[in-house]
């Protein structure tokens, strides 16, 4: 993400101090984001997209290629290149994030798995997501949902080379799960 932000700033012909004046983001923070020592928040990305007069998808590198343009191979990107946009800002309880995995230029390797305390629910918004869950390999498409105990080893990757993958994650501490509530029909079947 950092190199893309630096490129966007340079293409806009702006200095760190100039962007700082336009956005209210300290130059030291901008520098740490561009060098990868700090991850930008959604608020920071929105300010930068406005300052550079580009869409958030373009800034994050997740905009699908235009159909009329010839498609050039995308550079190899690591798992650290994914964009994570926090949707909740409080401490404790359930947390929600939007994740965007960039498009790939080659089929991915099996995702590296981790495990930790907690419970996770995810929903794919766009693209195809490879969910490695213990010994299982699942490919989820837009609209598919998965939930699992995060003590089970798990990992995700873009499942193909067709474009980026966008998905929502809700994560809670161990034992705190989403509780679906649906109305029950009355005795007459309504």
Q: What is the mean pLDDT of residues 119-137?
A: 92
- What's the angle, vertex CA 172, arms to CA 80 and CA 63, rounded to 5? 35
Say how many Å lie between the first and final Cα of the chain, rounded: 51
- pTM score of the predicted model: 0.53
Q: What's the pLDDT band for 176 if we cut at 50, 70, 90?
A: low
Q: Would you say residue 28 has pLDDT above 70?
A: yes
Output 141 or 108, whichever has higher pLDDT. 141
Alpha-carbon torsion angle 100, 105, 109, 113, nearest 10: -10
Query: Comparing C-alpha atoms, which of 22, 9, 103 is closest to residue 59?
Result: 9
């Amino acid at each position: 993400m950092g190199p893309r932000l630096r490129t966007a700033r340079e293409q806009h012909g702006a200095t760190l101090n100039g962007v700082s004046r336009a956005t209210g983001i300290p130059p030291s923070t901008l520098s740490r984001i561009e060098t990868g020592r700090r991850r930008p928040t959604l608020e920071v990305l929105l300010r930068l997209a406005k300052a550079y007069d580009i869409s958030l998808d373009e800034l994050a590198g997740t905009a699908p290629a235009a159909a009329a343009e010839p498609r050039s191979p995308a550079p190899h990107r690591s798992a650290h290149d994914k964009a994570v946009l926090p949707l909740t800002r409080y401490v404790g309880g359930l947390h929600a994030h939007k994740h965007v995995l960039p498009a790939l230029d080659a089929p991915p390797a099996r995702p590296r798995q981790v495990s930790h305390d907690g419970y996770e629910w995810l929903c794919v918004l766009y693209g195809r997501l490879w969910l490695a869950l213990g010994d299982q390999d699942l490919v989820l498409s837009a609209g598919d949902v998965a939930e699992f105990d995060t003590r089970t080893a798990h990992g995700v990757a873009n499942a193909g080379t067709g474009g980026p993958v966008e998905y929502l994650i809700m994560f809670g501490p161990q034992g705190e799960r989403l509780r679906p509530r649906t109305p029950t029909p009355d005795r007459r079947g309504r």
